[in-house]
Structure 1
Amino acid sequence: MLCAGPVLAQDGAGVKSAIQDGRISVTGRARAEAAPDFATVEIGVDAKGATPAAALDSASAAAKAIIALAAEFKVPDADIGTTAVTLQPVTRTIRQPDGTQTEKPDGYRAANMVRVRLADMARLGELMRKALDAGANRIESVGFGLRDPDAAESAVRVAAMKDARAQAGHLAEAAGVTLGRVITIQSPPQGGAQPYLAAAAPMRAKRSGAPVPLVAGTIESAAEVAATFAIAP
């Protein structure tokens, strides 16, 4: 859905400020909302082991299960990727009788995170639940986006330009002049379509139960165009 945002002068002073030296300068604005066409989720596992190899092997086994599960959901290989693999020693605090504390080695902790991009967004909650059943215990984030954000950005820039032309036409009519050709157009970067993040913070996931409820929302794009038009003779 495209929404243009005209900003029209309300009095003579406003018209004069926009019409100078035989030119009309305006700023057109537009916003657009589109339904996302894919979802991303980062799923992984934290595993602890007595040795580095034991911890890493445990995390790797769960990551392999997540990757295999994504394949069962018909996710292409290009839409599955590892985002992080970590391994670090773990210590525990020992309090001594004299009140001092010491750190004692307590095994190793490994993590393996996998990002999955899913086109069938209706099955995202099911994918997450089955991943937990397969051994995952971490869900870092869920997001929704557009595979072709450039198309959305182009459409909203066109709408912003139409808004600029409409404003210029209204100002020309109010001033009793005829709108001429476009002299300059400036469209500063707007940051592109903004993805919707359903969960941005790390969280521990619970196993077993119903699919996770999720709402995709919409992706918003915005554009601003500064245009200067000549006044026709």
Structure 2
Amino acid sequence: MRRVRLAPLIALALLGSVGAARAEEKPGADEGRILVVGRARAEVVPDFASVEIGVEARGASPAAALDGASAAAKAILALAGEFKVPEADLRTSAVTLQPVTRSTRQADGSFAEKPDGYRASNTVRLRLADMARLGELMRRALDGGANRIDGVGFGLRDPEAAEAAMRSAAMKDARAQAERLAEAAGVTLGRVVSIQSPASASAPPMALAAPAPMRAKRGGAPVPLAAGTIETGADVAATFAIAP
């Protein structure tokens, strides 16, 4: 579902690509101007979910710790295949191995750090188009040996397209504002003199979902998740000439 606060979006050739865009012509000396800033906002349903699933394992030797983490990581990768996650949406994000120590009390009452084996971790990041199954995937990953879940989030595969649509809507809003101002002033709105998007030098808005880090615990049911919507928008500064 998508809610747009403006009229239906229109294509605008002047906007060009989804990067910062500017079109400008030098007006005649006798032309007045009307400068407006058009705005558009919309809430878009995300089309993928992302999550990092990992495992931490302990071992008496480096090899034992790493083998334990690797076995669980292989199970996560196999599980991703069952959920039809394409290879492009699946990657190893971190592999770590480090010695572990523990504090022991000495005869004189002081404490000293003593070696206590090794700890290894292996983390996989994946994107899932079938967001309704994310909770099930997380639950089954835990059953397969995973013991850490981080960075749960939702996003758009093509945020630039959403931004371009908002720019078109923002330009339509700018023209509507200019027409109302011209009517109120008793003048005739003329040609477009310049278009700038974004309206200021700041970075354009990004259509991103805020991540929701979490620590996984074993349980008997899929993890409940709600994708919500992603707010995206654009601002366009437009200058119109006042017709003679």
TM-score, normalised via structure 2 length: 0.85
The equivalent position to 1:221 in structure 2, one of 203, 207, 232, is 232
SS in 2 for 1:193: coil
Give the gaps of 5 or more residues in structure 2: 8-30
Structure 2 equivalent of residue 42 of structure 1: 52
Structure 1 equivalent of residue 166 of structure 2: 156
Q: Does the CA contact (< 8 Å) of 1:41 and 1:116 recur in 2?
A: yes
Provide Cα deviations, 1:112-154, integer angstroms capped at 9, x if missing partner: 0001111111100000000000000000111111112121111
Provide Cα deviations, 1:180-233, integer angstroms capped at 9, x if missing partner: 111111112423212242x13x52x22241000000111111111111100011
Q: Distance in 1 between matches of 2:242 and 2:4?
A: 29
Structure 1 equivalent of residue 242 of structure 2: 231
Letter matched to residue 195 of structure 1: A
Q: Does 1:192 align with 2:194?
A: no
Q: Does 1:177 align with 2:187?
A: yes
Q: Distance in 2 between matches of 1:191 and 1:33?
A: 13
Provide Cα deviations, 1:52-89, integer angstroms capped at 9, x if missing partner: 11111100100000000010111111111100001111
Query: Map of 1:69-84 to 2, 5 A cutoff?
Result: 69-84=79-94
Higher mean C-alpha displacement, 93-102 vs 166-175 = 93-102
Letter matched to residue 208 of structure 2: Q
Deviation at 1:4, TM superposition (A): 4.3
Q: Does the CA contact (< 8 Å) of 2:205 and 2:234 recur in 1?
A: no
Q: Does the CA contact (< 8 Å) of 1:196 and 1:216 recur in 2?
A: no
Structure 1 equivalent of residue 4 of structure 2: 2
The alignment-based identity, stated in percent, is 73
Runs of 4+ in 1 over 3 A off after TM superposition: none
The equivalent position to 1:141 in structure 2, one of 151, 154, 164, is 151
Deviation at 1:33, TM superposition (A): 1.1
Letter matched to residue 206 of structure 2: G
Q: Does the CA contact (< 8 Å) of 1:133 and 1:208 recur in 2?
A: no
SS in 2 for 1:48: strand
Deviation at 1:95, TM superposition (A): 2.3
Structure 2 equivalent of residue 15 of structure 1: none
Q: Does 1:25 align with 2:39?
A: no
The equivalent position to 1:110 in structure 2, one of 114, 120, 128, is 120
TM-score, normalised via structure 1 length: 0.88
Cα RMSD between the aligned structures? 1.5
Q: Distance in 1 between matches of 2:151 and 2:32?
A: 54
The alignment of Structure 1 onto Structure 2 pairs a total of residues equal to 215
Q: Does the CA contact (< 8 Å) of 1:2 and 1:159 recur in 2?
A: no
Higher mean C-alpha displacement, 152-161 vs 187-196 = 187-196
The equivalent position to 1:167 in structure 2, one of 151, 157, 177, is 177
Deviation at 1:3, TM superposition (A): 2.1
Letter matched to residue 168 of structure 1: A
Deviation at 1:93, TM superposition (A): 1.0
Letter matched to residue 62 of structure 1: A
Deviation at 1:175, TM superposition (A): 0.7
Give the gaps of 5 or more residues in structure 1: 6-20
Query: Map of 1:91-130 to 2, 5 A cutoff?
Result: 91-130=101-140
